[in-house]
Amino acid sequence: MAIHKTKAIVLETKDYRETSYLLKLFTFDFGKINAQAKGARRKIGKFGTNFLLMSYNEIVFYENNVSDLHIISQADMLQHFGNIGGCLEKFTYAAYFLELVNTVMLVGEKNKEIFVLLLQFLNFLDAGCGLEQIRYIFEIKFLKISGFKPYFDCCVSCGENIAEKSKFSYVFGGLLCKNCFGKDFAAQHIMEGTIASVNYIEQMDLSKFNNFKITLSIRKQLEQILGSFIGFYLGRKFKSLSFLSEIRGSYV
């Protein structure tokens, strides 16, 4: 049985039997893994962490050769993002980011860039940075890194450059030029500012995160298009996202 040490973010935690946890962890070196923390609920101090949702830990685990459920032998908490839990909006964003990573990433699929992105955005939330823009910036970066990015470079159907009005097609997963509007009658008008913002954010260095501002109308369109696109492609509604629109609906 091989033994490994890595950094891990807790994506999901469930009580298991009398004393243990079943965990889904997103690790730096091994991608998403399933793991069991035996006795973690019974013996206080057995592990240097209580495996809270979204916490960032250093773990040592035994690799299971028979199933994909590994056994954690040691763990220490590195960060628990205490400011997120105290704010409903921050917590809901964090839950959505975790849910997105948990849904898209397959067990054993390694992606260090996604790990770094998730950790960075948990830190932004913990510090209370840019709550009005955090969701769509995470979505655009995440879609790009994970290879689900909508096609915004030119017309997804004919390849022509987008010179004037265009529409966004969920079915085609990108922009349609004027000549191709007839290919998808459900396609939705999209503002030039929205297209420019997506292209900018894709390349944007995250050190500029705090200073990035866009108008309310573009922000609303970005959230609507990206939210629907993600729901359409993953074939599911995100519980955290529905809750988010409810709590934000009151003041946006």
Q: Which residues contact Zn ion (rule: CB under 5 A)?
A: 155, 157-158, 160, 177, 180
CB of 64 to Zn ion, least distance (A): 50
CB of 194 to Zn ion, least distance (A): 18
d(CA 173, CA 97): 21
**Closer CB to Zn ion, 48 or 182, in the complex:** 182
CB of 156 to Zn ion, least distance (A): 8
Number of helical H runs and strand E runs in the chain: 7, 8
| The two three-digit tokens of residue 30, written as one number | 């091994």
CB of 159 to Zn ion, least distance (A): 7
**Closer CB to Zn ion, 177 or 225, in the complex:** 177
CB of 160 to Zn ion, least distance (A): 5
Q: Which residue intervals of the chain are DSSP H helices?
A: 82-85, 88-104, 112-127, 131-146, 192-203, 216-234, 239-249
- Do the beta carbons of residue 46 and residue 40 sit within 8 Å? yes
**Closer CB to Zn ion, 19 or 188, in the complex:** 188
CB of 187 to Zn ion, least distance (A): 11
Burial class (CB in 10 A: 0-12, 13-18, 19+), 107: exposed
| The two three-digit tokens of residue 19, written as one number | 């004393």
Q: Which residues pair with 174 in a beta bridge?
A: 151, 169
**Closer CB to Zn ion, 151 or 209, in the complex:** 151
Identity of the residue numbered 63: E
**Closer CB to Zn ion, 40 or 180, in the complex:** 180
**Closer CB to Zn ion, 143 or 175, in the complex:** 175
Residue with tokens 């191709």: 180
- Residues sharing a CB contact under 8 Å with residue 4, sequence separation 6 or more, in sequence order: 29, 30, 60, 61, 63
**Closer CB to Zn ion, 105 or 155, in the complex:** 155
For 170-210, give the DSSP string: TTTTEEE-GGGGGG-TT-EEE-HHHHHHHHHHHH--GGGGG
CB of 196 to Zn ion, least distance (A): 19
